[in-house]
Each structure stands twice: as C-alpha cells, then as structure tokens.
C-alpha cells in the first residue's frame, strides 16, 4: 500500500482561500467512488491561523503505479482544475505502508 500526502497553499485573502478549499475538498471526497484504485481519501482544511498551508489530503492506493493512475484519472484532473486559479504551492510525499 502507498500513502499519498499532499499539502496546498492558496493565493488570496482568507475568504477566497477558504472558498476554494471547501470546493476542492468536496471534489476530492467524491473520488473514491469513481477511481477504483483509490482505497481511501481524507481531506483537511487548516483551522490554525498561525500556519500558512491551507489544505492537506491523504490518499491510500495499492501500489506506486496507482498513484499515477489516480493522478491522471479525469475526475482527479477535474478536481485539480478547481484550485488552478489560486494554487500557490504544493508539496507531496508518497511512501509505502
């Protein structure tokens, strides 16, 4: 199994960042129902005003190759397009569990 953890930082004021985070979270949470290799998805929106990252997602897939399948799936591509106008930074770690 592979755990895929991604953090995002968005541009804009707090209200804009929160709006995009909520929309992105909703889209991400719908993915396990349409991407067969996606075993689980957890998405959190930052609640700590002292921190600068806005959203984190944790997904679990069977293999490292499935990370690529997930990333290229049309539903994931559509979800990622939601934040394209405001994405400032992205950091990712994939590791075997």
pLDDT of residue 66: 98
| Average pLDDT score over residue span 13-31 | 97
- Tell me the C-alpha to C-alpha distance, in Å, between residue 27 and each of 1, 32, 60, 82, 90: 23, 10, 17, 9, 17
Q: What is the mean pLDDT of the chain?
A: 97
| Average pLDDT score over residue span 36-62 | 97
The answer to whether the pTM exceeds 0.75 is yes
Share of the chain above pLDDT 90, in %: 100
């Amino acid at each position: 199994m592979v755990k895929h953890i991604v953090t995002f930082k968005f541009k804009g004021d707090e209200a804009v960042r929160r709006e995009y985070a909520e929309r992105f979270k909703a889209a991400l949470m719908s993915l396990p129902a349409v991407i067969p290799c996606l075993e689980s998805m957890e998405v959190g929106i930052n609640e700590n005003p002292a921190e600068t990252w806005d959203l984190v997602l944790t997904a679990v897939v069977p293999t490292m190759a499935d990370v690529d399948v997930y990333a290229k799936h049309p539903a994931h591509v559509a979800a990622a397009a939601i934040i394209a106008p405001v994405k400032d930074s992205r950091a990712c770690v994939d590791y075997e569990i």
